Amino acid sequence: MFGYYLDLAWRSLRRTPVMTALMVLAIGLGIGASMTMLTVLHVMSDDPLPDRSAHLFVPHLDPRPANFTQNLYAPDASANFTYPDAMALVSSRQAVRQAAMAGGTLLARRSGTGHTPFYADGRFTTPDFFAMFDLSFLSGSAWSQADEDARARVVVLSESLSREVFGTADSVGRIAHLNDADLRVVGVTRDWQPNPMFYADADAKEFSDADRFFLPLSTSLDLKFNTNGNQSSWAGSIEHNSPTLTWLQVWVQLDTASEVTAYRRYLADYAGQQKKLGRYERSADSAHLYSLMEWLAIERKVPSDIHLQVWLALAFLAVCITNIVALLLAKFLRRGGEISVRRAMGARRRDIFIQLATESAVIGFAGGVLGLILAQLGLWSVRHRPDDYAHLASMDGPMLAFTFALALGASLLAGLLPAWRACRITPALQLKTQ
Amino acid sequence: MSMHPMLSSLRHHKLTVFLLILQVALTCAVVCNVVFLVVDRIQQIALPSGLDEPMLSIIESQSIDKKQNQLARHDADLAALRAIPGVKMAVAADSLPFGDQESSYGTCATLEQLEQAAKLRSMQTNGCVQPAAYAGTPGELNTLGIHLVAGRDFRDDEYVDDDKVPAAILSAELAQKLFPAGNALGNTIYTGERKPIRVVGIVQTLVRPRLYAFGTNQLTMLFPSKSADSYIFYVLRSAPADRQRVLKAAAAKLMQLDPDRILPPEQMQTFEDLRRAYFQRDRTMVGLLVASCAGLLFVTALGISGLANFWVQQRRRQIGVRRAIGATRSEILRHFLLENFVIVSAGILVGVVLAVVLNLLLMKQYEVPRLPWFYLPAGALVLWSLGQLAVLAPAMRASAVPPVVATRSA
C-alpha cells in the first residue's frame, strides 16, 4: 500500500513542479539554516570529556568581604581560589583526586643554536592533574608528590612541544629550557585539547588554546613564573600566597554520590571554620560544589551570539514550516474532486490521510537532502571564519541523523493539518458541484 | 470598488488566510528585530576610535632579556624607527584602542570622593569612574592624530616612567563625567596614588582598548608616562601606501638592533587590520543576520506568490464570470492586489505586537537595546511592498483570464 501512496505522491508532485520545488526549497532553507546553527551550538556545548565528566567537580568558596562590590568591568573575583584555600583543599585529600592549577606562558627555545625562541602555553599544577583528567602518556609519567613538595625542576611536555623543542616525541630525561629555567623532562603526553578548555580561567580562549607543557605549581612559584588569567585582589596585596588574591583553579574527582555528599559537607565545614577563624566574612552557605557541566553552564563558555543565532535559525524554520502548511493546505483542498472520487469508491478517511501524509513526507525527505547540503555549505563557511571555535564546526553521525529526523518531522507536522482538513471533505457535495 | 466580494472570498479560505497572516506576522517580528541588531552591530564596528587610523601601523616588541633597561631600549628602537624612510613619526605605547590590553584606574574628581570610594570598595560612587589610561612616549597625541579640543599636549618635563603622573589629558566624555560643571581643564583628578593630577588637555574622541558597555567606551585618558614594560607597541605614522613597506623595514631594523626579542607576526599590522580583527565576531554576526533576514523575506515572498498562484488557478472560472459581466482587467488585477494588501496588513498588525514582545525578550536575555519605534513602520512598509511584488505576477495572470472561460465547463 505504501508503494502505491508513494506513486500517487510522485504523480501529484509532478503535476505541480514549481509548487513542489518551492516547498522543497523552503524546507531545505529552513533545515539548512537551523542545522548549521544547531551544529555549532552542539559542538560548543558538548561534553569536553565524555568519559570523565560525571566524576569531575569544581568547588567554589567565597572569601570576598561581605561588603565587596563587584566592579562592572572586572571578572568575578570569587570564580578563582586564593593560594591558601587551594592548598588547603588539595592537601586535605578529601576527594579521590584533586588538583590546583593556573595557566602560564613560557618562552621555549629549540635545542641547538640559531633558532628564534617562541612562547608556549601550559599549566602549573599539582600531580593528580594527569590521572584526574585522564591524559595519556607516550613515555615517562607525571611527577610525584615528593617532586611537588621539593619544588623539583621537572616538566611534562605535550607531544607537539616535545617535537618542536627536541625534534622527537621521546624526550624523557632531557633538559628543556623554559624562560630562564632548566627543567628535566619526566613525561611526554599525547596532545590534549578538550573543547572547551573547561578547567582554565575564564580569560582563556577556550576553543583554540591548548596546554603544551605542565610543571609543578610549587616549582613555578619558586621560579616566579607569571600566570595568565584573572587575578583579583581586594586588600591591595598581590603576593601569590596572599589570602586576599584569587588566581587558582581547583578541580576534584568524586566517584560516588556519597563521596559527593561528603565533599559538600567538607566544603561547608571548611567555609564555616574559616568564618570562625575570622578569615571569611560570608557564611558556610557560600561554599558550593558544581559538576563539570553545571560549571560550563554557569561560566557561559558558549558566547551569547551563538544562542541568538540558534533562536534566529529556529524562527526561520518556523516561518518555513508555516509557509509549507499554507501551500500544502491549498494544494490538498484543490484536489477535493480527486479525494471525493476516491472516498466514493471506498477509500476510508484514514487512507486519504495516510496518502496525503506520504506526500508531505516525500517533500520532507527531499527538503532534508537539500537542507543537509545547505547545512554542510553553511558549516564550511563557518569553518573558514577566523573565530576561535570555527575549526570545530562539522557534523557528526548523530547530528546527521537528527537533520533528517528534523526535516521529516517538520514536513510531516506541516502536512498534518492540511491532510486532516482534506480528508474531512464531504464527497457527495464535491461530486455534485463538479 | 467594493471590498465585499474579496472579503467573502477570503472567508472561504479561513485556514489558509490565517496561516498566511501568521507567516507575515512572524516574518515582520523577526525582520524588525534582526535589522535593528544589524544596525546596532554596524554602529559598533564603525565606532570612531579618535585616531587617524589610515596613517597608522603597529608593531609589538616583546623583549626576552628582562634585565635589560627597557626605557633605553625603547629610546634606541624609536630613534631607529624614525630614521626609516617614509616614517613620519613614531612613538611607543603600552596599549592602543582595540588592542585588548587595558590599564584602568579608579579615578575621582576630589580626594574626598576617592577616600569614600575606597572605603566602599567601589568606583561606582558619585564623582568616580574607572577610565582606561594610555601611557606613551612624547608625541603620542600627534602621532596617533588625536584631536585636542582644549588645553595643550604634555610638556617634556611632565613625563615620568611609572604611573605617578603629574598631568593627564582626558577624553571629552570623561571630563564631562568627572566635572559636570564643565570646568575640567586646569582642575585636578585623583587615582589610587592619591596625588593630584592636573588636567592639561581635553580630546574629542578616544575609545578604550576593550569595549564593555555603551556609555563607558569613551572613558579614557592619556598619561605622560613612558612604559618600562618589556612588551611594547611601536606606532608608526606614514602615508597609507607606505604602511606595508614601513612595517617590513621596521621589523628588520628592530631585529638587527636587538635580536633577543620576539615580534609576534599577528601583532605586526596596520591599525585597520587591528580594528578588523577586534570586530571579527561582530562582522560574522552581521553576515549571518543579513543572510537569515534575506532568507526569511525570500521564503515569505515564495509563500505569498505560491498561494496566490493557486487561488488564481482555482478561481479561473469565477474570474471569467466576473469579466463576462463587465469587470475590467484592471479591476481583476486590483482585486488580487487589494486582497494581498488586506492579508499582509493583518499580518503586520500582529507582527508589530510580536516584534515588540520579541524585543523585550531579547532585552532581557541578551542585553539588546530597546527597538526604536520607527523600525516598525519601516518593517511594515517592506512587507507591504514585498507582498505586492510577490502577488503581482499571479494577479497579472488572473487579469489575463478571458471572459470566455465563463462559458466553458470546469
What is the distance between the alpha carbons of residues A37 and A379, in angstroms, rounded to a whole number?
Answer: 8
Look at residue A173 in the predicted model and tell me its pLDDT: 92
Closest CA–CA distance from residue B170 to any residue of chain A (Å): 20
Considering chain A, what percentage of its residues have pLDDT values greater than 70? Answer: 94
Which of these three, A299, A333, A354, is where a domain ends?
A: A299
Q: Greater confidence, A160 or A430?
A: A160
Entry pTM: 0.78
Contact across the interface for A71 and B311, Cβ inside 8 Å: no
CB A402 within 8 A of CB A332: no
Look at residue B392 in the predicted model and tell me its pLDDT: 92
**Given CB atoms, is A420 within the 8 Å cutoff of chain B?**
no
Q: Greater confidence, B1 or A97?
A: A97
**Given CB atoms, is A258 within the 8 Å cutoff of chain B?**
no
A202 and A248 in one domain?
yes
Domain count, chain A: 2
| Chain A residue with Cα closest to B363 | A308
Chain A positions touching B119 (Cβ under 8 A) are none
**Given CB atoms, is B65 within the 8 Å cutoff of chain A?**
no
Half-sphere exposure of A127 (CA within 13 A, CB side): 17
CB B55 within 8 A of CB B239: yes
Which residues of chain B register pLDDT less than 70? 1-7, 121-126, 213-214, 409-410
Sequence letter at residue B172: A
Contacts of A352 (CB under 8 A, 6+ apart): A339, A342, A343, A419, A422, A423
Closest-CA residue to B347 (of B19, B34, B33, B36) = B19
What is the distance between the alpha carbons of residues B172 and B52, in angstroms, rounded to a whole number?
Answer: 17
**Given CB atoms, is B284 within the 8 Å cutoff of chain A?**
yes
**Given CB atoms, is B23 within the 8 Å cutoff of chain A?**
yes
Count other C-beta atoms under 10 Å from residue A433's C-beta: 10
Contact across the interface for A326 and B280, Cβ inside 8 Å: no
Sequence letter at residue B11: R
Candidates A30, A319, A333; nearest CB to B23: A319
Look at residue B312 in the predicted model and tell me its pLDDT: 86
Closest CA–CA distance from residue B310 to any residue of chain A (Å): 7
**Given CB atoms, is B79 within the 8 Å cutoff of chain A?**
no
Closest CA–CA distance from residue B182 to any residue of chain A (Å): 26
Which of these three, A269, A299, A329, is where a domain ends?
A: A299
Closest-CA residue to B95 (of B130, B67, B56, B135) = B135
Chain B positions touching A309 (Cβ under 8 A) are 285, 288
What is the distance between the alpha carbons of residues A419 and A413, in angstroms, rounded to a whole number?
Answer: 10
DSSP 8-state class, residue A190: P
Candidates B280, B292, B314; nearest CB to A334: B314
Cα-Cα-Cα-Cα dihedral sign, residues A184, A189, A190, A196? negative
Q: What is the CA radius of gyration of chain B?
A: 32
Highest mean pLDDT among A43-47, A61-65, B124-128: A61-65
What is the distance between the alpha carbons of residues A396 and A409, in angstroms, rounded to a whole number?
Answer: 20
The DSSP secondary structure of A164-175, one letter per residue, reads HHHSSS--TT-E
Chain A contact probe: residue of B284, B343, B357, B366 with most A CBs at under 10 A: B284
Candidates B27, B123, B289; nearest CB to A71: B123
Q: If pLDDT is split at 50, 70 and 90, which confidence band does A430 have? A: low
Look at residue A151 in the predicted model and tell me its pLDDT: 93
Chain A positions touching B61 (Cβ under 8 A) are none
What is the distance between the alpha carbons of residues A300 and A76, in angstroms, rounded to a whole number?
Answer: 13
Look at residue A433 in the predicted model and tell me its pLDDT: 59
Range list of H helices, B315-366: 316-324, 329-366
**Given CB atoms, is B137 within the 8 Å cutoff of chain A?**
no
What is the distance between the alpha carbons of residues B366 and A308, in angstroms, rounded to a whole number?
Answer: 8
What is the distance between the alpha carbons of residues A279 and A170, in angstroms, rounded to a whole number?
Answer: 47
Cell numbers that stand for A336 in this block: 477535493
A204 and A322 in one domain?
no
A38 and A59 in one domain?
no
Closest-CA residue to B332 (of B406, B235, B401) = B401
To the nearest 10 degrees (0 to 180), the angle between helices A2-15 and A349-383 is: 70
| Chain A residue with Cα closest to B100 | A203
Candidates B22, B280, B310; nearest CB to A331: B310
Contact across the interface for B306 and A19, Cβ inside 8 Å: yes
Which of these three, A250, A269, A299, is where a domain ends?
A: A299
DSSP 8-state class, residue A394: -
Q: Which domain holds residue A272?
A: 53-299
Q: Is residue A103 helix, strand or coil?
A: strand
| CA trace torsion A146, A149, A155, A157 (10° rounding) | 80
ipTM: 0.76
A386 and A247 in one domain?
no
Look at residue B123 in the predicted model and tell me its pLDDT: 64
What is the distance between the alpha carbons of residues A28 and B221, in angstroms, rounded to a whole number?
Answer: 53
**Given CB atoms, is B307 within the 8 Å cutoff of chain A?**
yes
Closest-CA residue to B171 (of B195, B207, B139) = B207
Chain B positions touching A329 (Cβ under 8 A) are 15-16, 19
Candidates B262, B285, B299; nearest CB to A319: B299
Chain B contact probe: residue of A27, A35, A36, A73 with most B CBs at under 10 A: A73
Please give the average per-residue pLDDT across A394-416, as a whole number. Answer: 82
* Exposed/middle/buried for residue A388 (C-beta within 10 Å: 0-12, 13-18, 19+): middle
What is the distance between the alpha carbons of residues A412 and A430, in angstroms, rounded to a whole number?
Answer: 26
Instruction: Please give the span between the terminal C-alpha atoms of chain B, in angstroms, as a whole number.
Output: 27
Element (H, E) at A178: strand A175-178
Closest CA–CA distance from residue B302 to any residue of chain A (Å): 7
Q: Parse chain B into domains and list their residue ranges.
A: 4-45+281-407, 95-226
Candidates B130, B285, B303; nearest CB to A73: B130
**Given CB atoms, is A363 within the 8 Å cutoff of chain B?**
no
| CA trace torsion B181, B182, B185, B190 (10° rounding) | 50
Q: What is the CA radius of gyration of chain A?
A: 30
Chain B contact probe: residue of A23, A228, A308 with most B CBs at under 10 A: A308
Interstrand relation of A181-189 and A154-158 (parallel, antiparallel or unpaired): parallel
At A149, phi and psi to the nearest 5? -65, -35
Candidates A33, A69, A385; nearest CB to B121: A69
Closest CA–CA distance from residue B293 to any residue of chain A (Å): 9
- How many interface pairs between A and B have CB atoms less than 8 angstroms apart? 125
Closest CA–CA distance from residue A384 to any residue of chain B (Å): 11
A201 and A57 in one domain?
yes
A285 and A169 in one domain?
yes
Evaluate if residue A414 carries a pLDDT over 90.
Answer: no
**Given CB atoms, is A308 within the 8 Å cutoff of chain B?**
yes
Contact across the interface for B306 and A325, Cβ inside 8 Å: no
Closest-CA residue to A363 (of A414, A423, A421, A422) = A414
Please give the average per-residue pLDDT across A208-217, as a whole number. Answer: 90
**Given CB atoms, is A30 within the 8 Å cutoff of chain B?**
yes
Q: Greater confidence, A428 or B70?
A: B70
Contact across the interface for A117 and B366, Cβ inside 8 Å: no
Closest CA–CA distance from residue A150 to any residue of chain B (Å): 27
Q: If pLDDT is split at 50, 70 and 90, which confidence band does A404 have? A: confident
B residues 335-394 lying closer than 8 A (beta carbon) to A? 362, 365-366
Evaluate if residue A368 carries a pLDDT over 90.
Answer: no
A92 and A105 in one domain?
yes
A307 and A292 in one domain?
no
**Given CB atoms, is A71 within the 8 Å cutoff of chain B?**
yes
Q: If pLDDT is split at 50, 70 and 90, which confidence band does A215 have? A: very high
Contact across the interface for B292 and A72, Cβ inside 8 Å: no
Query: Which residues are A57's β-sheet partners?
Result: A252, A291
Q: Over the stretch A12-39, which tens digit does the pLDDT of each residue have? A: 878 888 888 888 888 898 888 888 888 8
Q: Greater confidence, B340 or A234?
A: B340
| Chain B residue with Cα closest to A329 | B16
Candidates A71, A116, A325; nearest CB to B19: A325
What is the distance between the alpha carbons of residues B47 and B97, in angstroms, rounded to a whole number?
Answer: 11
**Given CB atoms, is A318 within the 8 Å cutoff of chain B?**
yes
Q: If pLDDT is split at 50, 70 and 90, which confidence band does A357 have? A: confident
**Given CB atoms, is B214 within the 8 Å cutoff of chain A?**
no
**Given CB atoms, is B26 within the 8 Å cutoff of chain A?**
yes
Sheet strands (E) in B81-144:
89-93, 103-104, 107-108, 128-129, 132-135
Contact across the interface for A326 and B410, Cβ inside 8 Å: no
DSSP 8-state class, residue B182: S
Evaluate if residue A424 carries a pLDDT over 90.
Answer: no
Look at residue A113 in the predicted model and tell me its pLDDT: 65
Closest-CA residue to B294 (of B110, B34, B77) = B34
A384 and A236 in one domain?
no
Contact across the interface for A19 and B310, Cβ inside 8 Å: yes
What is the distance between the alpha carbons of residues B100 and B278, in angstroms, rounded to a whole number?
Answer: 8
Q: Over the stretch A137-186, which tens digit does the pLDDT of each residue have? A: 999 999 999 999 999 999 999 999 999 999 888 899 999 988 888 999 99
Closest CA–CA distance from residue A260 to any residue of chain B (Å): 32
Tell me how many degrees the CA angle A403-A405-A411 measures, rounded to the nearest 5: 100
Query: Which residues are A106's β-sheet partners?
Result: A120
A117 and A232 in one domain?
yes
Q: Over the stretch B292-329, which tens digit does the pLDDT of each residue have? A: 889 889 989 988 888 888 888 888 888 888 888 888 88
